[in-house]
Structure 1
Amino acid sequence: MTPNPTRLDGQVALVTGGAGILGRVFCRALAEAGAQVAVLDLMEDGARAVAAEVGGDAQGFACDVSDPVSVTAAVEAVMARYGRIDVLVNNAATKTADVRAFFEPFETYSLDTWREVMGVNIDGMFLMAQAVGREMLKAGSGRVVQTASIYGLVGPDGRIYDGSDYLGGPINTPAVYSASKAAVVGLTRWLATHWGDKGIRVNCLVPGGVSSGQNGAFSDNYSARTPMGRMARAEEMAPPLLFLASEASSYVTGQVLAVDGGWTAW
């Protein structure tokens, strides 16, 4: 019988933003595939709670991905605990401490908020890829999956936000979000070519809109704009992640996999 190439038995997967909506789904899927999961999150209690939910040999760690000292300490702690890192799911992102400032109109957007978002969404990707990449280079192998967004590929359709409500108010897609997610795509391709002959593969997972508490008006508008006619469920991101994180994608690197119900096809 041919072994299942998506199995990760005996391997260690590190997930940043592990206590988030997608992060906890990723952690669960990786553990179910046999991996030992290091759950990293800004909130250590959240990371530990997810690790407890996942079970097995999962462990939670505190990490501020925008802080080089915190990143170095977290990666060192993971290496001390597990001795290796086979998979990095570079997933952490932020809506900032002030979510209303995050959704401020472009014309009045604060540079401080812009920098706060960039500090996590792209600086954090760089710092974590750098720190984990050094360990993967020593091992001569590794897989990196970086989470972007459809709005790193295309501009937002402002019409879907008519009547929207989420996290206590109306929402939009800020320019900083699109810019940071487009940067993730560029970083992915650069790293894939930089490490291509070093045994390290780097790919980008691009989720479409995931249902996570948006109001009915937003969900209806988004669904009408999507060829498949609905928003995604968070769990639908897990199989594509496992494909990119495992030997099922052994000859795939530098690729951008949009899991968006056809959104970017229109």
Structure 2
Amino acid sequence: MKDKMFDLAEKVVLVTGGTGLLGKEFCETLSDYGANVIVVDLNESDCKKQAESLAKKYGTKAIGVKADITNRNEVAKMVSEVVKKLGKVDVLVNNAAGKSKNFYAKFEDYPLEDWEKVMSVNLTGAFLCAQAVGKQMAKQNSGSIINISSVYGIKAPDQRIYKGTKINTPAVYSASKAGLIGLTTYLATYWADKNIRVNCISPGGVFNNQENEFVKKYSEKTPLGRMANKNELSGAVLFLASDASSYVTGHNLVVDGGLTIW
């Protein structure tokens, strides 16, 4: 009974940003629980290599698809290809996130083109994918959409932890991630009668070889005393993708080591 609750056998799961730091982990976990995973990203070779690895390792079907999620035509083509090959889409994980040349520029000097580029991936891309996949899910009368937001979509970043480092977090990141939470709640009500659940995950900081000073300051602000490891978000994705969350919709699952309770 316990295993069945999280079983994803024969489920078709599409993961955008599938070859990235978190995307890879999501694809591994979903495949491990039986899902047929569609790895979507910008580099076709990387997508196909990862899909081949997943299929070989877990004995599932896996497909690598190159797609620019900011392009409506490419998104439509992506969904059409998946449905043609596998017949359906059960789960969409809107995980892709963008950066730009001047991603860390000061707010006062932030170029409009950089703002638009990041927004086009983080928010518009999620909208286009949800729109195209949601149409298919509505025909199936079932589905789960999982948007990957951030704690910075619900709280302001503490600017002090970035002082003395080469990084910061720009306003466009917070704005786009907050927008994802709004999109989540809207779609949860919009598609409820189609048995489509729409939820959100807001991770805290994930360790990715950041500067020691930043890691130290960030960890001191977190009750668990550390940043997340890259594999520690996968359980939340598995939960929302599976029948274990069959009565959960419109929810923002915060996975932050307690950062937002202090």
TM-score by length of 1: 0.95
Deviation at 1:254, TM superposition (A): 0.1
What do the CA deviations read for 1:174-214 (whole angstroms, capped 9, x no partner)? 00000000000000000000011211000001111000121
Letter in 1 for 2:131: Q
Partner of 1:11: 11
Count of residue correspondences = 258
Partner of 2:251: 255
Partner of 1:64: 68
Aligned mates of 2:66, 2:156 — CA distance in 1? 34
Query: Are 1:194 and 2:190 matched, yes or no?
Result: yes
5 Å-filtered alignment, 1:1-266, equals: 1=1, 3-55=3-55, 56-96=60-100, 98=101, 101-164=102-165, 170-266=166-262
Letter in 1 for 2:8: L
What do the CA deviations read for 1:55-88 (whole angstroms, capped 9, x no partner)? 2311100010111011111111111111110010
Aligned mates of 2:245, 2:119 — CA distance in 1? 30
SS at match of 2:64: strand
What do the CA deviations read for 1:138-182 (whole angstroms, capped 9, x no partner)? 000000100000000000001111232xxxxx1111000000000
Aligned mates of 1:174, 1:19 — CA distance in 2? 23
Aligned mates of 2:2, 2:183 — CA distance in 1? 35
Partner of 1:167: none
For the Cα contact (< 8 Å) 1:202–1:253, is it kept in 2? yes
For the Cα contact (< 8 Å) 1:162–1:217, is it kept in 2? no
Q: Which runs of 4+ in 1 moved over 2 A?
A: 1-4
Letter in 1 for 2:175: A
Aligned mates of 1:3, 1:156 — CA distance in 2? 38
Letter in 2 for 1:45: S
What do the CA deviations read for 1:120-154 (whole angstroms, capped 9, x no partner)? 11000100000000000000000010000000000
TM-score by length of 2: 0.96
SS at match of 2:29: helix
Structure 2 stretches of 5 or more lacking a match?
none
Aligned mates of 2:4, 2:210 — CA distance in 1? 37
SS at match of 1:88: strand
Between the aligned residues of both structures, percent identity stands at: 50
Deviation at 1:45, TM superposition (A): 1.7
Aligned CA distance change for structure 1 residues 2 and 177 (closer, same or farther; 3 Å): closer
Aligned mates of 2:46, 2:156 — CA distance in 1? 32
Aligned mates of 1:41, 1:17 — CA distance in 2? 5
Structure 1 stretches of 5 or more lacking a match?
165-169
